[in-house]
Amino acid sequence: MRNKTGRYSGYIRPFSYVSDLLILGCFAFYYFNFQNKEVPFCLLLSCSWIIIATHLGFYEVYRYTKLISILNCAVKQFLLFTISVLAIVYLYCEGTSQTAIFCYLGSVGLSIMALKLFIYYFLKEIRLVYGGNLRRVILIGSPQKVESLKTFFTENLEYGYKVYRFFPLEKDIEEELNEAFSFMTEYNLDELYCAMSDFNESQLERLIDFANNNFKTLKFIPDEKQIFSGNYVFQYYGYLPIIALREIPLDEKNNKIIKRFFDIIFSLAIILGILSWLTPVLAILIKLESKGPVFYKHKRNGLSNEVFDCYKFRSMKFSLDEKYDPVSKNDYRVTKIGKFLRKTSIDELPQFYNVLKGDMSVVGPRPHMLSYTEQYALKVNNFMIRHFIKPGITGLAQTRGYRGEIEQDSDIINRFKYDIFYIEKWSLLLDIKIIFITIYNTLKGDEKAY
**Count of CB atoms situated within 10 Å of the CB of 2:** 10
Whether 376 contacts 397, CB under 8 Å:
no
The domain boundary, picked from 179, 205, 223, lies at 223
Number of structural domains, the chain?
3
Do 260 and 185 sit in the same domain of this protein?
no
What does the pLDDT read at residue 109? 92
Do 164 and 24 sit in the same domain of this protein?
no
State pLDDT tens for residues 235-288: 554 455 555 556 788 888 888 899 999 999 999 999 999 999 999 999 999 988
- C-alpha angle with apex 132: 129 to 133, nearest 5 degrees? 130
Do 173 and 211 sit in the same domain of this protein?
yes
What does the pLDDT read at residue 263? 95
Question: Read out DSSP for 153-184?
Answer: HHH-GGG-EEEEEEE---S-HHHHHHHHHHHH
Do 44 and 61 sit in the same domain of this protein?
yes
The domain boundary, picked from 130, 152, 175, lies at 130
What does the pLDDT read at residue 128? 73
Do 22 and 107 sit in the same domain of this protein?
yes
Range(s) of the domain holding residue 376:
251-444
What does the pLDDT read at residue 5? 40
What does the pLDDT read at residue 237? 44
What does the pLDDT read at residue 19? 92
| Domain-located, residue 1 | no
Using CA atoms, how far apart are residues 225 and 377, in angstroms rounded to an integer? 12
Using CA atoms, how far apart are residues 218 and 3, in angstroms rounded to an integer? 9
Whether 256 contacts 250, CB under 8 Å:
yes
CA dihedral in degrees (238, 240, 244, 249; nearest 10)?
A: 20
pTM for the model stands at: 0.61
Q: Which three-class secondary structure string do you get for 55-116?
A: HHCCCCCCCCCCHHHHHHHHHHHHHHHHHHHHHHHHHHCCCCCHHHHHHHHHHHHHHHHHHH
Using CA atoms, how far apart are residues 172 and 193, in angstroms rounded to an integer? 18
What does the pLDDT read at residue 243? 52
- Cα 181 from chain centroid (whole Å): 34
Q: Give the chain's radius of gyration (CA, Å).
A: 27
Do 199 and 326 sit in the same domain of this protein?
no
Whether 173 contacts 202, CB under 8 Å:
no
Alpha carbon distances (Å) from 211 to 83, 190, 219, 411: 44, 10, 10, 36
The pLDDT tens digits along the chain (450 residues) read: 444 444 445 567 788 889 999 999 899 888 887 667 778 888 888 899 999 998 888 888 877 777 888 888 899 999 999 999 888 888 777 677 888 888 999 999 999 999 999 988 888 887 777 766 788 899 998 888 888 888 888 888 878 888 899 998 888 888 889 999 999 999 989 889 888 888 888 888 888 888 888 878 888 887 655 544 555 665 554 455 555 556 788 888 888 899 999 999 999 999 999 999 999 999 999 988 888 889 988 899 998 889 999 999 988 887 765 555 666 666 778 888 888 888 888 999 999 999 999 999 999 999 988 888 888 888 787 788 888 899 999 999 989 888 766 667 778 888 888 998 899 889 888 999 999 999 988 888 766 554
What residues are paired with 241 via a beta bridge? 236
Do 417 and 275 sit in the same domain of this protein?
yes
What does the pLDDT read at residue 37? 73
What does the pLDDT read at residue 6? 41
